[in-house]
Amino acid sequence: MTSNETTQRVAIVTGGSGGIGRVVAERLAKDGMQVLVHYSGNPQRADEVVAAITAAGGTASSAQADVADEAQVEALFDTAEQRYGGVDVVVHTAGIMLLAPLTELKLDDLDRMHRVNIRGTFVVDQQAARRLRSGGALINFSTSVTKLALNNYTAYAASKGAVDAITLILARELRGRDITVNAVAPGPTATALFLEGKPQEVIDRLAKVPPLERLAVPEDVAEAVAFLAGPARWVNGQVIYANGGAI
């Protein structure tokens, strides 16, 4: 019998203080997991997520870390183990998106996305691979834009293409460990970050792309995460496109 069958499962959700990450944290808590809500720079938003989970009868707490700093991420996992006894699920939603045509993107912005989206994924996954208990699940966040090929997303999609590669190879490197490694690749999702600054006609056009003819809401994406974090033990080394059939 594995440890996660005898104790309550524990999840770390990076970027869990807002947007899709918040809804993922709340969903996993609803599914009975103890959740460590990671945040980068806004403790108040993380506290709001913890309060919402607690009010709904769940167990959660928050912790800060720079996902690209290996010492801070190691400390984040230490915190989860000290508070809850171990780690069974890691959902890495933390990332940044800076958009511009390739010819106009500032190289400083490219470097920022490389640090957070690629190095951050590598650092978090490295700790997850070392710390996850048997029966565990690691879920990275990619994007459907790697297939949709939308203008202005060149650098962002490139950074998430690296996440896909890390995911597929790490799943094989963990052979024999009973740990699944997958990525969720959302399409356009109605979060404040996505909607900000976009004209209504652009939003309406993107909503018509999927055959279901609407934007995703964070709960749609959290459903896919919950599947991979729980019952989907035979789904491994995959990128799951949660986009309503847009591609």
Is 46 part of any domain?
Answer: yes
* Cβ 81 vs Cβ 1: under 8 Å: no
Domain with 101, as residue range(s), is 8-189+219-241
In the prediction, which pLDDT does 3 show?
A: 44
Q: How far is CA 140 from CA 2, 42, 48, 91, 239, in A?
A: 23, 22, 24, 6, 9
In the prediction, which pLDDT does 73 show?
A: 98
In the prediction, which pLDDT does 1 show?
A: 36
Is 41 part of any domain?
Answer: yes
More confident residue, 109 or 191: 109
Is 212 part of any domain?
Answer: no
Is 72 part of any domain?
Answer: yes
84 in active site: no
Query: What average pLDDT does this structure show over 149-175?
Result: 97
**Number of domains within the chain:** 1
Confidence class of residue 197 from pLDDT cuts 50, 70 and 90? Answer: confident
Is 195 part of any domain?
Answer: no
Structure tokens at 56: 């709904």
Catalytic residue among 39, 84, 156, 241: 156
Is 208 part of any domain?
Answer: no
Question: Average pLDDT over the chain, rounded to whole?
Answer: 95
Is 115 part of any domain?
Answer: yes
State the CB neighbour count (10 A cutoff) for residue 94: 24
Q: Report the CATH number that the domain containing residue 178 is assigned in CATH.
A: 3.40.50.720
Structure tokens at 146: 């790697």
In the prediction, which pLDDT does 193 show?
A: 75
More confident residue, 4 or 197: 197
Half-sphere exposure of 141 (CA within 13 A, CB side): 27
d(Cα 83, Cα 204) in Å, to the nearest integer? Answer: 45
Question: What is the C-alpha R_g of the chain?
Answer: 17
Residue-wise pLDDT tens digits, 108-154: 999 999 999 999 999 999 999 999 999 999 999 999 999 999 999 99
Element (H, E) at 163: helix 154-173
In the prediction, which pLDDT does 77 show?
A: 98
8-state DSSP, 133: P
More confident residue, 197 or 169: 169
State the CB neighbour count (10 A cutoff) for residue 168: 16
Predicted model pTM = 0.95
In the prediction, which pLDDT does 2 show?
A: 45
In the prediction, which pLDDT does 196 show?
A: 81
Is 137 part of any domain?
Answer: yes
Half-sphere exposure of 110 (CA within 13 A, CB side): 12
Confidence class of residue 107 from pLDDT cuts 50, 70 and 90? Answer: very high
